[in-house]
A = this chain, B = another copy of it.
């Protein structure tokens, strides 16, 4: 297996992020090798401290966080993002991990890779803990302002993922809204509600209706469907609040941190929720494994993103979800 990693465009310097690739190359050798996409000047310094199962591809340009996504993808064909997606398309790599400009990564993937059966737009999927089973949330930021039928497609995608990958027989799908009543929220959500209600009768998933974000963490749904802007705010709020709370508690009960159990409970909580531990957001809906890590990712977070990408390839996530979609459409 070959995993491509774009180490440009994040907040952490590429040379620091490279340590995540190095660690992964060490941990997952010999079955996994790596292709690092970086600028020539970075590659030069990295080549002195590399491993045999890592190779480099030189990118002539970088897409920055400030670049307008569509324009950047059209104009910067030699950027690390575009070269990585091209390598994925040409099957030179089996997965591509990036922490660069989200919009550009999605745009590049959508332009180059075919979408899965009955899917028009890709969604970033993130998985969060709840009081019961884990919930998969999509879209957490691929498509800002998507249409009702896209949310319906996200429901299909999320349900297929839960069914084929996590073995949930009849996934419960909920629509993120500001009230449970059918008429709540925007016109787009009401429209999506009606379409999902009709679709639930086909038996591929169980549409439970609107879900408020207060209730999500009780474990009422397996799949939480939302438009990309709202989903991204939702995910980042979860991260912000949990970091705030854990920091607050670590201060408030500092004296008790010599208690092994309290310290472990707080650490486990961080692991469960904090984004440094996420497998990264998987871009679901395109024919290829694309994992987006947070722009603020530490080397540890990038390592987890790589691990997530590896798991997706090993589990044949894309072909399983694709087969499941074919069966249900």
Chain A positions within 8 Å of B, measured between CB atoms, are: 65-66, 68, 102, 129-131, 141, 144-145, 176, 178-179, 181, 183, 185-186, 212-218, 229-230, 232-234, 236-249, 252-253, 255-256, 259, 261-262, 265-266, 268-269, 273, 296
Rounded to whole angstroms, the CA-CA distance of A258 and B265 in the bound complex is 16
The answer to whether A253 and B244 have CB atoms under 8 Å apart is no
Closest Cβ–Cβ distance, residue A322 to chain B (whole Å): 28
Rounded to whole angstroms, the CA-CA distance of A218 and B241 in the bound complex is 10
List 30 interface pairs A-B (beta carbons < 8 Å), by A numbering: A65-B181, A66-B181, A68-B183, A130-B244, A131-B248, A141-B178, A212-B236, A213-B239, A213-B240, A214-B240, A214-B243, A216-B237, A217-B241, A217-B243, A217-B244, A230-B230, A230-B233, A237-B237, A238-B241, A241-B273, A245-B245, A248-B269, A249-B249, A252-B265, A252-B269, A253-B261, A253-B262, A253-B265, A256-B259, A256-B261
By CB atoms of chain B within 10 A, which of A243, A253, A255, A266 has the most? A253
The residue on B at minimum CB distance from A259 is B256
Rounded to whole angstroms, the CA-CA distance of A64 and B169 in the bound complex is 36
Given A178-B141, A241-B241: A233 in contact with B213 (beta carbons within 8 A) = yes
Interface of A is mostly: helix
Rounded to whole angstroms, the CA-CA distance of A176 and B218 in the bound complex is 26
Determine how many copies of this chain the complex contains.
Answer: 2
Given A131-B244, A178-B233, A230-B230: A145 in contact with B238 (beta carbons within 8 A) = no
Closest Cβ–Cβ distance, residue A19 to chain B (whole Å): 23
